[in-house]
Amino acid sequence: MDLFIVLVICLSCLILFSLWNGSYAKGKLPPGPTPLPIVGNILQLNTKNISKSLSMLAKAYGPVFTAYFGRKPTVVLHGYKAVKEALIDRGEEFSGRGSLPVFEELRIVFSNGKIWKHTRRFSLMVLRNMGMGKKTIEDRIQEEISYLVETLKKTNASPCDPTSLLSCVPCNVICSVIFHTRFDYNDLKFQTLIKYFHENLMIVSSPWMQLYNAFPFLHYIPGCHKKLFKNVACQKEFILEKVKQHQELLDINNPQDFIDYFLIKMEKAVSQNSPISPFPTLMRHLFYLTLILIPAWPAKVQQEIDRVIGRQRSPCMQDRSRMPYTDAVVHEIQRYIDLVPTSLLHAVTEDIQFREYFIPKGTNILIHLSSVLHDDKEFPNPEQFDPGHFLDESGHFKKSDYFMPFSAGKRVCVGESLARMELFLILTSILQNFTLKPLVDPKDIDTTPIVNGLGSVPPFYELCFIPACSAAWLLSNPPIS
């Protein structure tokens, strides 16, 4: 009897495999590794480093291939040419937003079609009205940086983990735009909010969440997804409390922030789309920012700061055009850290023919951004941090079409201009006021990400913020390198 049961199970598996493989072969999707029943290709992927697995598959199957995360096919685009062709040349067809079980469970709805276009257009209009990309928001960032600098001075050059402090700047800037509120860095609610965002990015980038998205039934067993859902529930409660306060004090003739505009123009729409979604991206940029401030290149940035800005005034965005090396450093930081190895899932909005392949409407599309940012033809020695990737032979700043840390096309990050402004101003302000000293020799610092999934999360570290001297002193007393 036992042998009979085993034979039936084996036969059933073979039939399932045959049916699965047959339907796969008959389709016109791009080639890819043969998926197994139910699990798809998940066993062939390194869930601790999805980006590396995608690069290996691209070598075997080309820049456009199909991978199954569980039972659902996902078309992966690898390399600049494929990504550009999809997101820029055929942006409308690839402008849909795919979905993941974790986001569905969190009830985070990625709108598509006319609703998405209207919401995005309105959001951009409101942000421009509030000074996004203009002097208004720049003044707000500079004000927040002044608080950061004063707080760092109070460390008295003693070792500290700057993660939380660096997160305070973008969080407070976003809070001022969304809620018309600034929090003290020691505010318990504010620190809790920041903690939730750090924890959430760790969780959604973990191997467990890769498995969760492939096999949604894991929702019913213990796992870190429970912590994620609890954190998000607390964040929603915080947001709804702010919305309620705005409803009670709303002056339709004098909107003060993003929520006011949404309450006036879109009534309850703000409750359907979390307005603080840019937080994790901005925080992680800044989290990595100081990690790379260890090698000897900060001295060159400080030289440029002394020459262009001096030590008597705060940096401003007008300085950037006269600081090509610093601008190159800001770009190289974003390229090198590989903050978001793959963009959020796209989806095709209709049945399309892409190259020689047929992709049905609604198919998930995974954009492998790492493959663009680490292209060795555009960026020689891409695994090395080198500001020269963005400098020409004369030392002038050099743009690159391959630079797309915020993705590209119609779904490019709405907060892109804000993030770039913050990165430049925070970097120059920190190096204007401090010399950064690691606790160990930089050669002994392991920068390998803790997790590498939806986001690339760096390890924790400590360093000392020593009040800066002149660039001349730095050159005669260079930091450890």
CA 364 to CA 344: how far, in whole Å?
Answer: 10
Residue 413 marked ligand-binding: yes
CA 214 to CA 221: how far, in whole Å?
Answer: 15
Cβ burial, residue 362 (10 Å; 0-12/13-18/19+):
middle
Q: How far is CA 324 from the centre of its chain?
A: 25
Cβ within 8 Å of residue 250, ≥6 positions away: 260, 263, 264
- b/e for 373-385, b at 16 or more Cβ within 10 A? bbbeebbeebeeb
Residue written as token pair 């008597």: 312
CA 478 to CA 254: how far, in whole Å?
Answer: 53
Q: Which residues pair with 346 in a beta bridge?
A: 97, 365
CA 110 to CA 116: how far, in whole Å?
Answer: 8
Annotated binding site: 413
Annotated binding site for heme: 413
